[in-house]
Amino acid sequence: MKKNLKILFFVTALGMVASCTVAPLTGRRQLKLVSDKSVAESSVSAYRQLIQQANAKGLLANNTADGQRLRRIGGRISSAVEQYLNENGMSKKVSDLQWEFNLIRTNEINAFAMPGGKIAFYTGILPILNTDAGIAFVMGHEIGHVIGGHHAEASSNKALAGIAATVTDAVTGGNAVSSLVSSGLSITLLKFNRTQEYEADKYGMIFMAMAGYNPSEAITALERMDSIGAGKRAEILSTHPSGKHRIEAARKFLPEAMKYYKAR
């Protein structure tokens, strides 16, 4: 049994060592078994299907005042993102960003960005964010997951979990040990983990500042989302760390974010 477990951990460790990259903003080492580009290619089709379904159900709100507002903010944030990439040695990433902004009519409090520059906001989150700066922060945060390579990282973690489970089945005969290992991996491999959320918050503050929105408004936005109650908790705060910890981290990062800020 010990020999079999050694084989499992050796294969897992080998995959991690062979596929590590560095997160652009923080220098954190990342596991990348799949590329950002491949994730973007698959994400675009999924996004297109979502938007088509929303349109068929009459749920797209792009032609409303809020829809136009979202695209206006998106234009400023996307320009800031491209500027940041060009100024920080990541100009190759710009060509992979074919920006698109859609507002979907639903009470759900959520927003997301998919690799490839595909953005969607739900109308339910707009009253919570309230200001253009709040929207800019959340948009920058979600794009930060893309620029930080978090989608590819999450996909790689899931793939590694699958590899580990397969190897475990092979060396244990698919017994209870396999089930325990797989369960343990699935528990720790969340969509976006604590570190990724902190990184995305930092990106969000940088991008909004470069777009001319005061990054101190990010703290206000986080406070507003944290105050709405667990029953209506915003998706952006649904994983660790807790809202209060993220608010404190945003306060600590604010002096750095302010270096990028030029009021318009």
> Can you tell me which residue has the tokens 């893309």?
146
What does pLDDT average to in each consecutive run of 10 residues of the chain (264 residues)? 47 47 61 57 80 94 98 98 94 90 93 90 95 97 86 54 39 36 32 80 97 97 83 57 84 97 84
Q: What is the pLDDT of residue 134?
A: 97
As a whole number of angstroms, the distance between CA 212 and CA 261 comes to: 6
Q: How many residues does the chain have?
A: 264
For residues 115 and 90, give the distance between their C-alpha atoms in angstroms, rounded to a whole number: 15
List C-alpha distances in Å: 5 to 9, 130, 187.
6, 52, 19
Spans of all domains in the chain: 2-32+154-188, 36-150+195-258
Question: Could you give the strand order of the β-sheet that contains 111-114, starting from the edge strand earlier in sequence?
Answer: 100-104, 118-122, 111-114
What pLDDT was estimated at residue 233? Answer: 56
- Rounded Cα distance, 90 and 92, in Å: 5
Does residue 248 contact residue 142 with C-beta atoms inside 8 Å? no
Which value, to the nearest 10 degrees, does the dihedral of the CA atoms of residues 197, 137, 210, 70 take?
A: 130
Output the pTM of the full model. Answer: 0.75
Q: In this predicted structure, what is the pLDDT of residue 259?
A: 97
pLDDT, residue 14, reads: 43
E strand spans, 93-229 = 100-104, 111-114, 118-122
Structure tokens at 255: 């002096």
Predicted confidence at residue 168, as pLDDT, reads: 37
